[in-house]
Amino acid sequence: MVKVGVVGVGAVGAATVLSLIERGGMCREIVLVDLDSRRAAGVAADMRYATPLAPTVEVRAGGYDDLAGAAVVIITAGLNEKSGGATDRSDPEGRRRLIGANAEIYAGIVPRVVAAAPEAVLMVVTDPPDPLAVLTRRLAGHDRVFSTGTLIDSLRFRVHLADRLKVRPRDVQAMVVGEHGTSEVLLWSSASAGGTPVLDLLARCGEPVDLIRREIEDDIRFANITIIEGTGASQYGIGVVSALLVEAVLRDERAVLPVAAYYPPYETTLSLVSVLGAGGVQQMFEPAMSEDERAGLERSVVALREAAERALAVLPDGA
Amino acid sequence: MVKVGVVGVGAVGAATVLSLIERGGMCREIVLVDLDSRRAAGVAADMRYATPLAPTVEVRAGGYDDLAGAAVVIITAGLNEKSGGATDRSDPEGRRRLIGANAEIYAGIVPRVVAAAPEAVLMVVTDPPDPLAVLTRRLAGHDRVFSTGTLIDSLRFRVHLADRLKVRPRDVQAMVVGEHGTSEVLLWSSASAGGTPVLDLLARCGEPVDLIRREIEDDIRFANITIIEGTGASQYGIGVVSALLVEAVLRDERAVLPVAAYYPPYETTLSLVSVLGAGGVQQMFEPAMSEDERAGLERSVVALREAAERALAVLPDGA
Amino acid sequence: MVKVGVVGVGAVGAATVLSLIERGGMCREIVLVDLDSRRAAGVAADMRYATPLAPTVEVRAGGYDDLAGAAVVIITAGLNEKSGGATDRSDPEGRRRLIGANAEIYAGIVPRVVAAAPEAVLMVVTDPPDPLAVLTRRLAGHDRVFSTGTLIDSLRFRVHLADRLKVRPRDVQAMVVGEHGTSEVLLWSSASAGGTPVLDLLARCGEPVDLIRREIEDDIRFANITIIEGTGASQYGIGVVSALLVEAVLRDERAVLPVAAYYPPYETTLSLVSVLGAGGVQQMFEPAMSEDERAGLERSVVALREAAERALAVLPDGA
Amino acid sequence: MVKVGVVGVGAVGAATVLSLIERGGMCREIVLVDLDSRRAAGVAADMRYATPLAPTVEVRAGGYDDLAGAAVVIITAGLNEKSGGATDRSDPEGRRRLIGANAEIYAGIVPRVVAAAPEAVLMVVTDPPDPLAVLTRRLAGHDRVFSTGTLIDSLRFRVHLADRLKVRPRDVQAMVVGEHGTSEVLLWSSASAGGTPVLDLLARCGEPVDLIRREIEDDIRFANITIIEGTGASQYGIGVVSALLVEAVLRDERAVLPVAAYYPPYETTLSLVSVLGAGGVQQMFEPAMSEDERAGLERSVVALREAAERALAVLPDGA
């Protein structure tokens, strides 16, 4: 039976599990592991009562050993932006302020996950996901590691573009690449709907396109602040995203999505166009980019490399 | 477009919304109302980013006025067991300790909901749901009021029976009637799987049936304590249940479920077998019961009537 | 990747595939095998264009060899009631008239399926499914064989009861056991809704219950004639049923359903209460029955044993 | 309750109904109308037995009067390519050979549909859909008319591109515009995956792009021949497509899809980028096109205008 593990059953972990249950799909068994084992047990017991209403899935709390045989392990453990004091959105460091604390936590978790589930694909959700994925890859000693990267940012970009275009977000194609964080790059040049660049579609609205661009970038930023002020941290959107990514791996969908994996040409883990399926990210490529976008990506790579170094610093002699 | 309102966007409200979005179905627009308008706005913003991945649903925060035209309004506002100090599970009062505080809150909310959405069906989720549904019906001045009642208890009963029988919970038929609370009645006599009484099926296991009965009742109680100790309060199971009940109303499913509505023969609101569809509960009847079960139901009715009186006491001169 | 084979891609086979694709679930790859390889190729090509709109499933035509590794193989090949001249509904033989022709066809098919997919669960859909399942079990030399049995009959029973009770069919519990054919037994005594016998619920309608019983039995018969006169043979309902049964096996649901498997006490294959999961039917038991129902079941067993003999007669020296 | 009508319950109509039932969504009631009322009754009776397994939908056969109140009416009645003798795929006329016969049939049907359901959106599926939509719009006297157009062709394009790119078809963006027929235009210039032109992605494969283009165009043509030789006509893919389009209207999704509606600048009905929601196509625009593609579109417009004239010729004095 196809098993999925969740390490860290806070708000994001729980939303992911609820979404996995509701969506049915390939997942048949879910094991919840949390430092606070009472929390894991409580969430498992609560979720179980939803299962008669959805395709059969078993949910239970467990220890690391219970991850044995898991096809995917989702790691959401760690401090979030609020508990880690990273809510000053004008701070260029942003989520990177969480690196030290969460890298320590990962250094404790990942070896135990890998010992129990050596074949599992590891999906990093904790902030900042990209440097933590670098650390996870090093700790795991294999390449079946990816992070949720900029997929949630890309969905935000699509939702706000769709608002302006007055169409269904599903039909707007737009990506954010680079860091899931302050250096991320919105790919305006390739964003499209109905086979037509969104910049052309927006231009037809009558307002100056540069103004609309800035407004949409503000919409995204404003929505993020609204979430953080309202509930402390993004959890429902990222939970659904995480469930969907797990399904893409389990089903070997070869989905084309902006999630982050180690990309040898840049010697770090970042979101580009990734093909996600069995084993994790099977292929990556750089999308078409304008010169500005490429320059932005390069800046993001620099920031990510530096952040990765800081994450790796928790290893004994930078191993 | 079919609109659903949610008043009170805590953990239960949010799980309900996530489940409504994931399930698709009839609901097209969801309005979130919360005393803490920043929380409603935060949850709405967060949920929106899940919507490109599911059938089109709009989620937004609003005030009571924005409930205009809603087909169903879900009320989850109020203190929960933990915040209301009702976590001593040996206390025979149980959730009824919350009546005073939550009746006051409902007295403030319901008239505003009814003023904005006079045609809406009102679904009460807040604990204790049955007395609060009596109050809501009085405040609303109409009969399109029901509570989630003992549906979640019935699911728990089914899940733990299924554990023993080693079958899928969906295929175990079992109901809990009466109060969603300490006086609830598990209908062992009519519980069945595959057209066969579960008591017969359990008897084949070799253990004394009375012992197994007690163990299952303990399993249910134990799981509930596990949830409360783990996360403070049941939220995911009840969220999925709430989404499913809303769908039954919107789709006029004429679903046969143990939810609570006003039942004239007993002059109070309690869970019996209810037929749920357009307009709420369209019909109710008493299931087959053993003498003991009937006696238990009568005790539950007494407790519910008294609790309803306490809820109604918030009205000026008991109006 | 989880693979399902379909041998015989007529109307029923195609409806099954469409339903498997639409439902998502565990199935990831579907191989279509048909004597008319052009038909298999045509259906596969047509279905493929629906797949971008549903969870990823690959559908392709193939030969028996391509069934290698299939978890379940669905066999729908053979003459149907119309092509086999079994449409005289007053004929007590009914579908059994197809035994000779379809047993010959199965004798050609099953060994090739088993050679290619020795580990697969085999699901028999072709009429008459129960004797053909006996033959299939003998040819396969293993016990992972079941037929769709009386599940479709049970759904018909539930739908027509629900019509009378004016409730959702999903919430009516009712089973038909014995033969999928003229000797089938409707279990009126255990049919229930909301924990209450349907005979009691129907009695409250005011009409004599015996009259209503006869009318419902006529409704079922009439609907069947309507289907046969309209389209030649039942195909859509049975297609959805087949997809659902496959999912129960793949997901190891331990679903409790009236499908047919070999039941040692009766030394034949018939529908009783079956627990369906990994490996096929894992457990069977006889539901509670009235004396009349039990007598009916015994007559059905006699008819099924005789029919099974006729199916086995295609084997060299009744092997 | 949201009602959908289906006029013409052949293979395509039935596949559409099965898909509507399986998908749940907004549709609550389906009325089947067919010249052969026994066929409609048979399909309805058969489909009903699938409904306990899916969200509540009522399916019934009826006459035109029963379409009253339908939100959408799907018209699939008429000769198909095989019965109409339009299977010579080298014939540049293609589906247009069916115009005469099917326009006569539509002249009989549409006024009766509009008389019964004057507010309904009309969706034309019968071949050739675009000229028949012109005729339908004239007969209906309103603009809530669209055809399935080139959406199925676009899905074919996406599936075969995805084959070459070895990714999930859902993530390939590609459209076919103009006629659903021999003059259709594949928009290679705007086809993309992961924000990158597919022509660039294909170029990386090492083969000359022009060769790959021709091969993909052949793949599409070959698959179509495979379908027609195998089952007589495309039915399952188009059925799923039709169900999805109905849902987009009922849910007011503002989906961005290549379906056909009347486009004033070209004075005919053709597929461009259409925004589909309540009331049908709410907006249309021309996607970005290369010069060759634009020239192809203009040729398609000429063919469509002429075909529309032939369809309109069934009206008394070309009314």
pLDDT at D24 over 90: no
- Chain B residue numbers touching A230 (CB-CB < 8 A): 36, 38-43, 45-46
pLDDT at B292 over 80: yes
Report the pLDDT value the prediction gives residue A94, as an integer from 0 to 100. Answer: 73
Q: Residue C224's pLDDT band (boundaries 50, 70, 90)?
A: confident
Across A98-102, B48-52, D142-146, least confident range: B48-52
Residue D233 near residue C43, CB atoms below 8 Å: no
Report the pLDDT value the prediction gives residue D85, as an integer from 0 to 100. Answer: 66
Sheet holding A255-257, edge to edge: A255-257, A273-277, A280-285
**Residues with Cβ within 8 Å of residue C49, at least 6 apart in sequence:** D152, D155, D156, D159, D234, D236, D237, D241
Mean pLDDT, range B170-193, rounded to an integer: 96
- Assigned token pair, B126: 């807040």
Residue B221 near residue B215, CB atoms below 8 Å: no
Q: Omega before A118 cis (within 30°)?
A: no
Average pLDDT over chain A reads: 94
Residue A98 near residue A233, CB atoms below 8 Å: no
Task: Tell me the C-alpha distance between D183 and D160, whole Å.
Answer: 19
Residue B216 belongs to a domain: no
CB crowding B242-277: b at 16 or more within 10 Å, else e:
bbbbbbbbbbbbbbbbbbbbbbeebebbbbbbbbbb
- Assigned token pair, D8: 């013409």
- Assigned token pair, C129: 């499914």
Q: Omega before B55 cis (within 30°)?
A: no
Residue C106 near residue C78, CB atoms below 8 Å: yes
3-state secondary structure of B33: strand
Instruction: Say what percent of chain B tops pLDDT 70.
Output: 96
Residue A81 belongs to a domain: yes
Cα distance between the two ends of chain C:
36
Residue A71 belongs to a domain: yes
**Residues with Cβ within 8 Å of residue D90, at least 6 apart in sequence:** none
Cross-chain residue pair A253–D168, CB shorter than 8 Å: yes
Selecting among C150, C180, C184, C212, the annotated active-site residue is C180
Residue type, C69: G
pLDDT at B106 over 70: yes
pLDDT at D89 over 70: no
Could you tell me the CATH number of the domain that includes residue B26?
3.40.50.720
- Assigned token pair, C172: 């009516």
Residue D74's region, left for phi above 0, alpha for psi from -120 to 50, else beta, is beta
Which structural domain, as residue segments, surrounds residue C137? 3-149
Nearest to B256 among C168, C253, C257 (CB): C168
pLDDT at B18 over 60: yes
Report the pLDDT value the prediction gives residue A319, as an integer from 0 to 100. Answer: 52
- Assigned token pair, A192: 């499209």
pLDDT at D192 over 90: yes
- C8: annotated binding-site residue? yes
Task: Tell me the C-alpha distance between B319 and B313, whole Å.
Answer: 8
Mean pLDDT, range B220-225, rounded to an integer: 87
For chain C, the farthest-separated pair of C-alpha atoms sits apart, in whole angstroms, at 60
Report the pLDDT value the prediction gives residue B107, as an integer from 0 to 100. Answer: 97
Catalytic-residue membership of D160: no
Higher pLDDT, C300 or C89: C300
Residue B232 belongs to a domain: no
Cross-chain residue pair B55–D28, CB shorter than 8 Å: no
How many domains are contained in chain C? 1
**Distance of alpha carbon C169 from its chain centroid, rounded?**
19
| Candidates C168, C201, C271, partner chain B, best to mutate (most B CBs within 10 A) | C168
pLDDT at A213 over 90: yes
Measured in angstroms, the CA of A195 and the nearest CA of chain D are apart by 5
Higher pLDDT, C223 or B130: B130
Report the pLDDT value the prediction gives residue C142, as an integer from 0 to 100. Answer: 98
Question: Residue A49: closest CA among chain B residues belongs to which residue?
Answer: B237
Nearest to B288 among C168, C195, C255 (CB): C195
Mean pLDDT, range B288-294, rounded to an integer: 97
Task: Tell me the C-alpha distance between D269 and B22, whole Å.
Answer: 36
Task: Tell me the C-alpha distance between D296 and D312, whole Å.
Answer: 24
The count of CB pairs under 8 A between chains A and D is 84
CB crowding C266-290: b at 16 or more within 10 Å, else e:
bebbbbbbbbbbbebbeebbbbbbe
Report the pLDDT value the prediction gives residue D51, as an integer from 0 to 100. Answer: 81
Cross-chain residue pair A1–C253, CB shorter than 8 Å: no
Question: Residue C278: closest CA among chain A residues belongs to which residue?
Answer: A1
Average pLDDT over chain B reads: 94
Cross-chain residue pair B25–D24, CB shorter than 8 Å: yes
- Assigned token pair, B219: 């399993």
pLDDT at B127 over 70: yes
- B8: annotated binding-site residue? yes
Cross-chain residue pair D49–C19, CB shorter than 8 Å: no
pLDDT at C51 over 60: yes
**Residues with Cβ within 8 Å of residue D294, at least 6 apart in sequence:** none
pLDDT at C279 over 90: yes
pLDDT at C319 over 60: no
Across A93-102, C173-182, D113-122, least confident range: A93-102
pLDDT at D317 over 70: no
Q: Where are the beta strands (DSSP E) in chain D?
A: 3-7, 29-33, 58-61, 72-75, 121-124, 145-147, 172-173, 176-177, 185-186, 192-193, 196-197, 255-257, 260-263, 268-271, 273-277, 280-285
Report the pLDDT value the prediction gives residue D319, as an integer from 0 to 100. Answer: 52
pLDDT at A89 over 70: no
- A12: annotated binding-site residue? yes
Rg (CA), chain D: 19
Distances (CA, A) of B99 to A270, B80, B135, B136, B263: 53, 11, 10, 13, 20
- Chain B residue numbers touching D250 (CB-CB < 8 A): none
Beta bridge partners of residue A262, listed in sequence order? A269
Residue B314's region, left for phi above 0, alpha for psi from -120 to 50, else beta, is alpha
Across A293-297, B135-139, C90-94, D215-219, least confident range: C90-94
Residue D133 belongs to a domain: yes
Average pLDDT over chain C reads: 94
Q: Where are the alpha helices (DSSP H) in A6-92?
A: 11-23, 37-48
Cα distance between the two ends of chain B:
36
pLDDT at A53 over 90: no
pLDDT digits (tens, 9 = 90+) for A185-210: 999 999 999 999 999 999 988 889 99
Higher pLDDT, D82 or D168: D168
Mean pLDDT, range B145-157, rounded to an integer: 97
Q: Residue C78: how many CB atoms within 10 A of its CB?
A: 24
Residue A223 belongs to a domain: no
Cross-chain residue pair B48–A168, CB shorter than 8 Å: no
Mean pLDDT, range D189-195, rounded to an integer: 97
Instruction: Say what percent of chain B tops pLDDT 90.
Output: 84
- Chain B residue numbers touching D254 (CB-CB < 8 A): 56
Report the pLDDT value the prediction gives residue C217, as an integer from 0 to 100. Answer: 92
pLDDT digits (tens, 9 = 90+) for A16-35: 999 999 888 899 999 999 99
Residue C233 belongs to a domain: no
Residue A261 near residue A140, CB atoms below 8 Å: no
pLDDT at B240 over 90: yes
- Chain C residue numbers touching B194 (CB-CB < 8 A): 175, 256, 258, 273, 285, 287
- Assigned token pair, A131: 């440097």
pLDDT at C119 over 90: yes
- Chain C residue numbers touching B166 (CB-CB < 8 A): 254, 275
Beta bridge partners of residue C89, listed in sequence order? none
Report the pLDDT value the prediction gives residue A51, as an integer from 0 to 100. Answer: 81
pLDDT digits (tens, 9 = 90+) for A218-246: 999 888 889 989 998 899 999 999 999 99
pLDDT at A88 over 70: no
Measured in angstroms, the CA of B26 and the nearest CA of chain D are apart by 5
CB crowding D217-229: b at 16 or more within 10 Å, else e:
eebbeebbebbbe
pLDDT digits (tens, 9 = 90+) for D134-160: 999 999 999 999 999 999 999 999 999
pLDDT digits (tens, 9 = 90+) for B243-254: 999 999 999 999
**Residues with Cβ within 8 Å of residue C77, at least 6 apart in sequence:** C7, C8, C10, C34, C35, C105, C106, C109, C126
Cross-chain residue pair D43–C239, CB shorter than 8 Å: no
Question: Residue A255: closest CA among chain C residues belongs to which residue?
Answer: C56
Measured in angstroms, the CA of B71 and the nearest CA of chain C are apart by 20
Residue C38 belongs to a domain: yes
- D12: annotated binding-site residue? yes
Distances (CA, A) of B291 to B189, B193, B288, B298: 10, 22, 10, 11
Mean pLDDT, range B75-96, rounded to an integer: 76
Selecting among B95, B137, B160, B180, the annotated active-site residue is B180
Give the HSE-up count for residue C4: Cα atoms under 13 Å, Cβ half-sphere: 31
3-state secondary structure of A220: helix
Nearest to A256 among D174, D194, D256 (CB): D194
Task: Tell me the C-alpha distance between D36 and B184, whole Å.
Answer: 55
Report the pLDDT value the prediction gives residue B86, as an integer from 0 to 100. Answer: 65
Nearest to D173 among A195, A197, A288 (CB): A195
CA dihedral of residues D48, D52, D56, D57 (deg, nearest 10): -10
User: What is the β-pairing status of strands D255-257 and C145-147?
Assistant: unpaired
Task: Tell me the C-alpha distance between B286 and D171, whole Å.
Answer: 53
Q: Residue A316's pLDDT band (boundaries 50, 70, 90)?
A: confident
Across B117-126, C137-146, D49-58, D119-128, least confident range: D49-58
Report the pLDDT value the prediction gives residue B232, as an integer from 0 to 100. Answer: 87
Instruction: Say what percent of chain C tops pLDDT 90.
Output: 84
pLDDT digits (tens, 9 = 90+) for C282-312: 999 999 999 999 999 999 999 999 999 999 9
Length of chain D: 319
Across A171-180, B28-37, B145-154, B225-234, least confident range: B225-234
Cross-chain residue pair B236–A46, CB shorter than 8 Å: yes
Selecting among D97, D137, D160, D180, the annotated active-site residue is D180
Rg (CA), chain B: 19
Mean pLDDT, range B264-292, rounded to an integer: 97
Report the pLDDT value the prediction gives residue D104, as an integer from 0 to 100. Answer: 96
Cα distance between the two ends of chain D:
36
Four-residue CA torsion sign, D209, D213, D214, D215: positive
Selecting among A180, A181, A212, A240, the annotated active-site residue is A180
